[in-house]
Amino acid sequence: MSNEAIAIVMNIILSKYMGIGGLALATSISTIFCTTLLFISFRNKIGSFGMKNIAISSIKILCASLAMGTIAKLSYSVLLKYISG
């Protein structure tokens, strides 16, 4: 199943439940899935190329992104109270 087919199926499913946000989420999930498959295929063809370092960096980036998103959400809530109140 190609990346486009995965994206189309997920776009249809998630757009019904989440609207336009579902389209963005479906596209992101599809891209992550396809990238993972490409990494696996590439590793099988040429061997190890520092996948451990890439995985560690990806986990650090994910943690930093989650922290940033949480802080942004909390800041938005606090600022909204002060501005509207």
Is there a single domain that holds both residue 42 and residue 59? no
Is there a single domain that holds both residue 2 and residue 40? yes
Q: Is the pTM of this model over 0.75?
A: no
The domain containing residue 2 runs over which residues? 1-47
Share of the chain above pLDDT 70, in %: 95
Is there a single domain that holds both residue 65 and residue 38? no
Render each residue's pLDDT in the chain as its tens digit; 85 residues. 676 787 888 888 888 888 888 888 888 888 888 888 888 898 899 887 787 898 899 999 999 999 999 999 999 999 999 888 6
Residue 19 confidence (pLDDT)? 87
Is there a single domain that holds both residue 12 and residue 43? yes
Residue 6 confidence (pLDDT)? 79
The string of DSSP codes covering 12-72 is HHHHHHHTHHHHHHHHHHHHHHHHHHHHHHHHHHH--SSHHHHHHHHHHHHHHHHHHHHHH
As for how many domains the chain has, the answer is 2
